[in-house]
Structure 1
Amino acid sequence: MPDPFVVSVVLIVALAIMGQSIGIAMLVGSFVYLLLKGLDPSIAAETLLQGLFNGYTLLAVPLFILAADIMNIGSLADRLLRFAQALVGRFRGGLGHVNVVSSLIFSGMSGSAVADAVGMGKVIITMMTRDGKYTPSYAAAITAATATIGPIIPPSIPMVLYALVSGQSVGYLFAAGILPGLLMAFLMGVTNAVMARRRGFPTDDSVPISELPQTTLKAFPALMLPVILLGGIYGGIMTPTEAAAVAAAYALVISVVLYRSVSLPGLYAALLGSARSTATIGILIAGALAFNYVVTRENIPEAMAGVLAGMDLSPTGFLIAVNLLILLIGCVLEGGAVLLIVVPILIPSAEALGIDLVHFGVIIVVNAMIGLITPPYGLLLFIVASITRQPLTAIIRDLAPFIAILILALAIITFMPDFVLFIPRLLGYTG
């Protein structure tokens, strides 16, 4: 009789290759494993319910998704984009810099790379390609690259998922992402400046300095959202889950009452889109919880820890190996699946080597975000390709310098834990 675990893994891979949702594939594989082992299949349902019941922080996920969708249907994105243009639009390659800055600002509200690419991305790509100032492939490439900042700067949906599997504080994980996110934005801004000079990109129409106060005032309510969220979390006023609820409510109130830019059909579409996105993530989490039971029963984490111990890797060597592994897996597996399937296997080994798990979480999330822009399964690649109708080969060619600079940022984040943990330690983290 074939080994039930091997059958389970082969079935999951086969279903995924056939185009089935990875969450459903894991549920089917886990169910088949229980049947072959002669175990009660209701164990899968019990494990799922216990995982969701104890996962209070998971409530933050649909709320952050809803906040991002409301911002996209209102005028918040347009106001933030105008503010970013007023700040950096006057430099050569200015709209590329606007792309970076707008993603940096929007990332402090949505926590989602996809929300950034779909919301701000559509607008900025249209601006960049108007009048042929930038090639559509370059506009798509820099939009995909800058969207990776979204889940690094708090709030962050992937950080919430990592907290679920690692048991770490969501607040400290959010704080640990601030400096790495700023580093990524800075390096991409430098890359855009270099590309602008090499390719002769124009100096774009800039907003006069005299209009900057008025532009800032119009965007001020939207700019206050990250301040309210982070101030509330780190001031002990609200939990990250409560902050997610505040984000959704705040986005709705200022869009409807202050900006008056949301219609009932638009709100219905936002709610429907949020429900669909939440269902997709929910199925993935359900499958991961069931499959993690299978992995734990087979003692895979302990076996992996034993193999790594036999290799006598140093903490640095382990982190290098993890980076290579996640970068490779990220080419074919979606980031959420990486966080929920692969990371729980690695955490015991990281703990045994004395690696700080908050620092480790930032490394993992940055890796997963790079995976969103690497072929063949880079989700952001498909999103920007559908927006611009450009072939993937052209987008990937223009994206290569940004992938390289993000890997440089990943190396800095990996080998400088004090840089990553500086802000969490200011807030009381003792790791």
Structure 2
Amino acid sequence: MEYSGLVLVGVFFFLLLLNVPISFSIGVATIATMLYSIDFMPAMTTVAQRLAGGINSFALLAIPFFVLSGLIMGQGGIAKRLIECAMALIGMLPGGLALVNVLSCTLFGAISGSAVAATSAIGSFMIPQMEKNGYDKNFATAVTGAAATTGMLIPPSNILIIYAIASGGVSIAALFVAGYLPGMLVATALMIVCAGYSKLKGYPTGARLPLKVVLEKVLAAIPSLLLIFIVIGGIIGGVFTATEAGAIAVLYSLALSVGFYKEVKIKQLPEILLKAGETTAIVMLLIGASSAMSWILSYENIPQTISDFLLTLSENPLLILLLINLALIIVGAFMDMTPAVLIFTPIFLPVATELGMSPLHFGIMIVLNLSIGLCSPPVGSVLFVGCAVAKTTIEKIIRPLLPLYLAMFVVLMLVTYIPGISEFLPKFFGLY
């Protein structure tokens, strides 16, 4: 058993070092481990079955719908209206533009379901705007990258759907509702840091707008924000499932971006559909390959071995959860969220449940943890997008990122050790 585990880990990380795409690294490592453990034909048949079976889920149909709706809204003028709304509401506070950046990224990330899209759409406007008003460009880039990750917790979120599949049946509706409080906590913590940092550096405060202008900006953003309420309200009310909510999100985003705002032209739709198909194919290949890897992990009893090892290190559940979080932070710095959730959920979830943590609580913890990895070098995708938008380098934004990292880590610890932050809303609405 221990040798098969070494084969799996060794082949996987060796291929990653060679820059082999992660889905192929997972697949080849799984096949190598299968061949080490069982004969050729049963091994290849099992891999094929698990690849197909891994994506044979009705719940996964929600992913292409939410990807498509996010792409449509990403080009539909949503970002501009959200920024103007945030500017009208909080632009006059200390570090106003930094706070606007955080709130805009949070709202856009939640609507689009993509941290990369939020970084690109919000960052392309807010980073130059902040620099023009006297803010340091690297600080502006750091704020954009950190704040964009909050959309991973606030639904509609594809990564929460993927965790629901990886965990073996946690309610997607419960996960969606559970992400609200942690997501808002992260955004609040980032705003506190931005306000303090801006005051320390003497960054300017925005002008207070007349009430009439504030109301106009808020009203202009309401149609965009309604998507969140339609999706969650329908799921909570039992009107439709998460998958059906994805289809409704596509219809709503089309009506809003093509019909109401008129920012997306009909001739642009084929390109958007093609991009949605490409993104979905990448995600589905990752899910299929990771499902095969999860099977071999279970077959070789590797999660149970790791669970027993961790539980022998200490009898203190607080320490074990801290070790899991530290391990996931390291994983998140080197691996994208989707494969990390698919691979490490079967490994660490048994340990968490053994310690009395619910699968719902653990799901929010792992997604929040790996969200930090999205803005962490060397693999953090939002860092690369943010730096490309701002025309700066990752090395230059690390220093202003540190206090933002600290704020996110503090919230992670709160979410880890206070189950009510994740579980209160699902229990209140009778979803868990």
Q: What is the TM-score with the length of structure 1 in the denominator?
A: 0.95
- Tell me the alpha carbon deviations over residues 28-63 of structure 1, each in whole angstroms, 9 at most, x when there is no partner: 12222333331420211111212211x221112221
- 1:152–1:181 contact (8 Å) kept in structure 2: yes
Shift of 1:230: 0.8
- 1:31–1:44 contact (8 Å) kept in structure 2: yes
- 2:5–2:302 contact (8 Å) kept in structure 1: no
Q: Structure 1 312/193 Cα, relative in aligned 2: closer, same or farther at 3 Å?
A: closer
* Most deviating of 359-368 and 109-118: 109-118
Match of 1:185 in 2: 187
Q: Structure 1 415/4 Cα, relative in aligned 2: closer, same or farther at 3 Å?
A: closer
Shift of 1:125: 1.9
| Amino acid in the other structure paired with 1:341 | I
2:27 is the counterpart of 1:16:
no
Matches within 5 A, 1:119-130: 119-129=121-131
- 2:73–2:257 contact (8 Å) kept in structure 1: yes
Match of 2:279 in 1: 277
Shift of 1:260: 1.2
Match of 2:198 in 1: 196
Match of 1:383 in 2: 385
Shift of 1:108: 3.1
Match of 2:34 in 1: 34
* Most deviating of 22-31 and 196-205: 196-205
- 2:31–2:47 contact (8 Å) kept in structure 1: yes
- 1:363–1:414 contact (8 Å) kept in structure 2: yes
Work out the percentage of aligned pairs sharing the same amino acid.
Answer: 34
- 2:149–2:374 contact (8 Å) kept in structure 1: yes
| Amino acid in the other structure paired with 1:20 | V
2:412 is the counterpart of 1:410:
yes
| CA distance, structure 2, for counterparts of residue 416 and residue 314 of structure 1 | 16
Match of 1:169 in 2: 171
Structure 2 residue runs of 5 or longer lacking an equivalent are none
- 1:107–1:155 contact (8 Å) kept in structure 2: no
- 2:290–2:343 contact (8 Å) kept in structure 1: yes
| CA distance, structure 1, for counterparts of residue 343 and residue 92 of structure 2 | 45
2:332 is the counterpart of 1:316:
no
Aligned match for 2:55, one of 19, 43, 52: 52
| CA distance, structure 1, for counterparts of residue 127 and residue 331 of structure 2 | 29
Shift of 1:5: 4.2
Aligned match for 1:374, one of 373, 376, 393: 376
Q: Structure 1 316/429 Cα, relative in aligned 2: closer, same or farther at 3 Å?
A: farther
Match of 1:144 in 2: 145
Shift of 1:204: 2.9
- 2:317–2:355 contact (8 Å) kept in structure 1: yes
| CA distance, structure 2, for counterparts of residue 399 and residue 250 of structure 1 | 36
| CA distance, structure 1, for counterparts of residue 32 and residue 69 of structure 2 | 38
| CA distance, structure 2, for counterparts of residue 340 and residue 92 of structure 1 | 41
- 2:54–2:292 contact (8 Å) kept in structure 1: no
Match of 2:158 in 1: 157
- 2:160–2:172 contact (8 Å) kept in structure 1: yes
Q: What is the TM-score with the length of structure 2 in the denominator?
A: 0.94
Aligned-residue CA RMSD in angstroms? Answer: 1.7
| CA distance, structure 2, for counterparts of residue 265 and residue 91 of structure 1 | 42
| CA distance, structure 2, for counterparts of residue 38 and residue 313 of structure 1 | 40
Match of 2:87 in 1: 85
* Most deviating of 154-163 and 231-240: 154-163
| CA distance, structure 1, for counterparts of residue 330 and residue 177 of structure 2 | 27
- Tell me the alpha carbon deviations over residues 129-156 of structure 1, each in whole angstroms, 9 at most, x when there is no partner: 2x25222211110000101110111221
| CA distance, structure 2, for counterparts of residue 189 and residue 407 of structure 1 | 14
| Amino acid in the other structure paired with 1:8 | L
- 2:311–2:320 contact (8 Å) kept in structure 1: no
| CA distance, structure 1, for counterparts of residue 310 and residue 216 of structure 2 | 58
Match of 1:397 in 2: 399
Match of 2:174, SS? helix
| Amino acid in the other structure paired with 1:306 | D
Q: Structure 1 235/102 Cα, relative in aligned 2: closer, same or farther at 3 Å?
A: same
- 1:142–1:399 contact (8 Å) kept in structure 2: yes
- 1:117–1:384 contact (8 Å) kept in structure 2: yes
| CA distance, structure 2, for counterparts of residue 219 and residue 44 of structure 1 | 47
- 1:85–1:206 contact (8 Å) kept in structure 2: no
Shift of 1:317: 2.5
Structure 1 residue runs of 5 or longer lacking an equivalent are none
Q: Structure 1 312/163 Cα, relative in aligned 2: closer, same or farther at 3 Å?
A: same
Matches within 5 A, 1:208-223: 208-223=210-225
- Tell me the alpha carbon deviations over residues 143-202 of structure 1, each in whole angstroms, 9 at most, x when there is no partner: 001011101112211111111111211111111111111111111111111111111111
- 2:93–2:205 contact (8 Å) kept in structure 1: yes
